Amino acid sequence: MHMTDLMTGREDLTEVNLIVFVGGFSNSDVLGSAKGWAGAFLYNPKAKAALDNFYKSEDTLSLGVCNGCQLMMELGLVYQDMDMSSHPKMHHNGSGKFESTFISINIPKNNSVMLTSYEGSQLGVWVAHGEGRFDLKAHKNYHIAATYTYPEYPGNPNDSDFSTAALCSKDGRHLAIMPHIERSLFPWNWGYYPRHRKSDEVGPWIEAFVNARTWVSARAK
């Protein structure tokens, strides 16, 4: 589904239970592209109404990856009851450069629909971003769903506060994550995969999408 579908009213998300704001330079091949993408929602009445109604529904999930994560921060979609001045923001990496690497993240105890079953896991995943630093005012205000295993650069590739790699909403339905779990679904996608697991048809990250499908199926009308 393209933004033009929402902006023209061809689509209104009423038949969608899971929306994924995709990674990559979704709006343009420049830093800060999520701001332009956010503007397409904020200043187009049809697109804004579709998004607002989607988030008002209680049987919907959302996932933002990389550029999509930036979009969710720009629009305040993770903590919608929070003033935008307090909502988490994304900033340029502390290194001042684009970071692309295969890295390790930890999944703590969390209530994310997509990640709760990973509690206690440490998994490899790709990152590729220039603006991936989570700016969090206070740890207690947010629900951290994933952290970089090593708190210092380059283990924390963007110098995010509290080594944050992902945030989820209070009810666990909405997840914003910088690492590209969707690019790490198969063993051959990984920079390193355990030798004794090379026969796996899919990698561990597919479970996040299975969890989403199970959740939606249980609530389908």
- Beta bridge pairs of residue 100: 128
Pair of tokens at residue 101: 């690497």
pLDDT greater than 80 at residue 3: yes
Catalytic residue among 11, 66, 99, 131: 66
Active-site residue, 182 included: yes
Choose among 52, 37, 28, 53: nearest CA to 4.
37
Spot the catalytic one: 87, 174, 182, 207: 182
For the chain, what percent of residues have pLDDT higher than 90?
Answer: 80
Say which of 87, 143, 174, 180 is annotated catalytic.
180
Mean pLDDT of 75-99: 89
Burial-class residue 208 by CB neighbours within 10 Å (0-12, 13-18, 19+).
buried
Superfamily of domain 10-219: Class I glutamine amidotransferase (GATase) domain (3.40.50.880)
**Cα(146)–Cα(204) distance, integer angstroms:** 15
| Catalytic-residue membership of 66 | yes
| Per-residue confidence (pLDDT) for residue 139, from 0 to 100 | 66
To the query of whether residue 69 is one of the catalytic residues in this protein, the response is no
Rounded to 5 degrees, φ, ψ at 7 are -70, -30
The one-letter amino acid at 133? R
Residue boundaries of the structural domains of the chain: 10-219
pLDDT, position 79 = 92
Asked if residue 114 lies in contact with residue 212, where contact means CB atoms within 8 angstroms, the answer is yes
Q: Report the pLDDT averaged over residues 89-96.
A: 92
In this predicted structure, the answer to whether residue 15 has a pLDDT above a threshold of 60 is yes
